[in-house]
A and B are shown apart, each in its own frame.
Chain A
Amino acid sequence: MTVTCREARELADPFLSDQLLVETTNEIVRHLETCAACRDEFAARRTLRTRLQSAVAASPALAPRPGFAADLTARLRPAAAPGAVITRRAWIESWWAAAAALLALLGGGLFARDTVRRSRLATLAANASGDHQNCAITFNLRERPIPLEDAARRYDPAYASLATLDPPAGLPGGAVDVLDRHSCVFEERRFGHVVFRYEGHVVSLLVTSGSGAGSTPALVTTDTPYRVASFDAGSHAVFVVSDLPERDVLGVAQALAAPVARRLSTS
């Protein structure tokens, strides 16, 4: 079989994509050996493909933001993954670590456990404050907030229960208005977020997986400019964050504790 110029050009793309049968490829190669015009045409097509590839790869407009891959990895990595394959040695070492921890607990380690719990709570509270600042105050989150229903479907069904949560009523400062409801991410932690306005101040109700201050609302000290109150609701930590005075923040948290706990325990 002799390939004509027309046939060669019709097969140029599958040829360049290495999609042809060996016999057909050989026929085209033979044709190209004797046809300068087709050689030029094939070369032009090959160059165009290469240029297109490099144009897409180099385009800043198409590039992911710095840290996107790292954020994605952190979000996708299963919770508590230590990030290394468990080798036999690591397994043995982990047993020694567990044994040591048990001894520490029996030997007065309850204090240490409480310290760890407080430390985790402080970290969560700092994240909640950061989310309040970046999402509710400055609208400066790196990741766009998504509807609570979407977040419930994709991450945690509990978020759906916030979609219809009534604002707290009967507070001394008067009515509380709902400004927004959504789910957002701060420092790789996802929150269900209801934004209220109370006494002219923005107040955030933030729900995330984890443990809060216990079932009774309590103030949590953070290094942020906001007052934070926290309580547990099922397997979730709940935070109320605002620049209001401590008693008002605690009052909002106390008014929300029962309805939030009811909703989260049934979600």
Chain B
Amino acid sequence: MHVSDQATWQTFEAEAMPHVDRLFRLAMWLERNRAEAEDLVQETLAQALQSFHRYTPGTNCRAWLITILQHVRANRRRALGRAPVDSDVEGRVANTIPFVPPVPEVLTDEDLLAALDSISPQYQEVILLCDVQEMTYKEIAAALDIPIGTVMSRLHRGRELLRVALTQCGTGSAARGTR
């Protein structure tokens, strides 16, 4: 094995591999299937390793990996002939939220995940990338290949929908077990 390959691997292992857990949780949420999530994470990291020379040290490695993951996933969906995510849904729900209800006092983790699960996938996606993966709007825009304005509007509406879903959960018992 060449010395430079070794050095690359060791840098990659130190920079990228610590993100496996969070990458997997995102992949699992998106794929809803453990085997597909493992495949997706493996392919993401394999591609990341091949393209590691393009990664700029000191930048957000997790955001870089998630961008690759989203591209791998989009390519797979296209290859499988699966429909792209419905982009018109934003327009349809734009005026459907009369007010933002307060967050219920008592919430379990299950309530939160069930509420998130109940909203449209494209809103789930931006909320996960922003709130859970702590990516910037710019990073999310690059990962999803959408304009920053769309990221902002999806986040805004997604959070409103999440609040509505949470109030419908009440104390959460009704929504449990949906995932």
Residues of A within 8 A of B (CB): 9-10, 13-14, 17, 19, 44-45, 47-49, 51-59, 61-65, 68-69, 72-73, 75-82, 84-86, 143-144, 146, 154
Question: Which residues of chain B come closer than 8 Å to A53, judged between CB atoms?
Answer: 131-132, 134
Query: Of B1, B113, B127, B162, which one neighbours A79 at CB under 8 angstroms?
Result: B1
Task: Kindly state the separation between the CA atoms of A143 and B3 in the bound complex, as whole angstroms.
Answer: 31
Are A14 and B1 within 8 A (Cβ)? no
Residue from A10, A64, A79 with most neighbouring chain B CB atoms (10 Å):
A64
Question: Which residues of chain B come closer than 8 Å to A59, judged between CB atoms?
Answer: 25, 109, 113
Q: How far is the CB of B63 from chain A (nearest CB, A)?
A: 13
Task: Kindly state the separation between the CA atoms of A163 and B131 in the bound complex, as whole angstroms.
Answer: 45
Are A51 and B112 within 8 A (Cβ)? yes
Answer whether A80 and B112 are a contact pair too, CB < 8 Å, given A64-B21, A73-B17, A85-B7.
Answer: no
- The digit string for B36-67, where 1 denotes a CB below 8 A from any CB of A, is 00110111011001000000000000000000
Are A154 and B43 within 8 A (Cβ)? yes
Are A52 and B9 within 8 A (Cβ)? no
Additional A-B contacts beyond A13-B159, A64-B25, A75-B42 (19; CB < 8 A): A9-B100, A17-B130, A17-B136, A44-B102, A48-B162, A51-B109, A52-B116, A52-B131, A53-B134, A55-B110, A61-B179, A64-B20, A64-B28, A68-B20, A69-B21, A76-B46, A77-B9, A82-B1, A144-B38
Q: How far is the CB of B27 from chain A (nearest CB, A)?
A: 9
Are A81 and B109 within 8 A (Cβ)? no
Closest to B35 in A: A144
Number of interface residues of B (CB under 8 A): 51
Question: Which residues of chain A come closer than 8 Å to B163, judged between CB atoms?
Answer: 48
Answer whether A80 and B1 are a contact pair too, CB < 8 Å, given A53-B132, A55-B113, A63-B25.
Answer: yes
Residues of B within 8 A of A (CB): 1, 3, 5-7, 9-10, 13, 17, 20-22, 24-25, 28-29, 34-35, 38-39, 41-43, 45-46, 49, 100, 102-103, 107, 109-110, 112-113, 116, 127-128, 130-132, 134, 136-137, 152, 155-156, 159, 162-163, 166, 179
Query: Of B29, B43, B103, B156, which one neighbours A44 at CB under 8 angstroms?
Result: B103
Q: How far is the CB of A101 from chain B (nearest CB, A)?
A: 17
Q: How far is the CB of A53 from chain B (nearest CB, A)?
A: 5
In the complex, number of A-B residue pairs with CB atoms less than 8 Å apart: 117
Query: Of B1, B25, B35, B162, which one neighbours A81 at CB under 8 angstroms?
Result: B1
Name A's interface SS.
helix
Are A68 and B49 within 8 A (Cβ)? no
Query: Of B5, B46, B131, B137, which one neighbours A19 at CB under 8 angstroms?
Result: B137
Are A86 and B20 within 8 A (Cβ)? no
Closest to B3 in A: A86
Task: Kindly state the separation between the CA atoms of A54 and B131 in the bound complex, as whole angstroms.
Answer: 10
Are A55 and B179 within 8 A (Cβ)? no
Answer whether A62 and B28 are a contact pair too, CB < 8 Å, given A51-B107, A72-B41, A72-B45.
Answer: yes
Question: Which residues of chain B come closer than 8 Å to A78, judged between CB atoms?
Answer: 1, 5-6, 9
Are A69 and B112 within 8 A (Cβ)? no
Task: Kindly state the separation between the CA atoms of A75 and B155 in the bound complex, as whole angstroms.
Answer: 36
Question: Which residues of chain A come closer than 8 Å to B103, judged between CB atoms?
Answer: 44-45, 47-48
Task: Kindly state the separation between the CA atoms of A110 and B156 in the bound complex, as whole angstroms.
Answer: 71
Query: Of A9, A47, A62, A85, which one neighbours B25 at CB under 8 angstroms?
Result: A62
Q: How far is the CB of B26 from chain A (nearest CB, A)?
A: 8
Question: Which residues of chain B come closer than 8 Å to A9, judged between CB atoms?
Answer: 100
Are B42 and A72 within 8 A (Cβ)? yes
What are 19 of the A-B contact pairs (CB < 8 Å)?
A10-B156, A44-B102, A52-B112, A52-B132, A53-B132, A56-B132, A58-B109, A59-B113, A63-B21, A63-B25, A64-B20, A64-B24, A72-B41, A72-B42, A76-B45, A76-B46, A77-B9, A81-B9, A82-B6
Q: How far is the CB of B100 from chain A (nearest CB, A)?
A: 8
Question: Which residues of chain A come closer than 8 Å to B49, judged between CB atoms?
Answer: 76
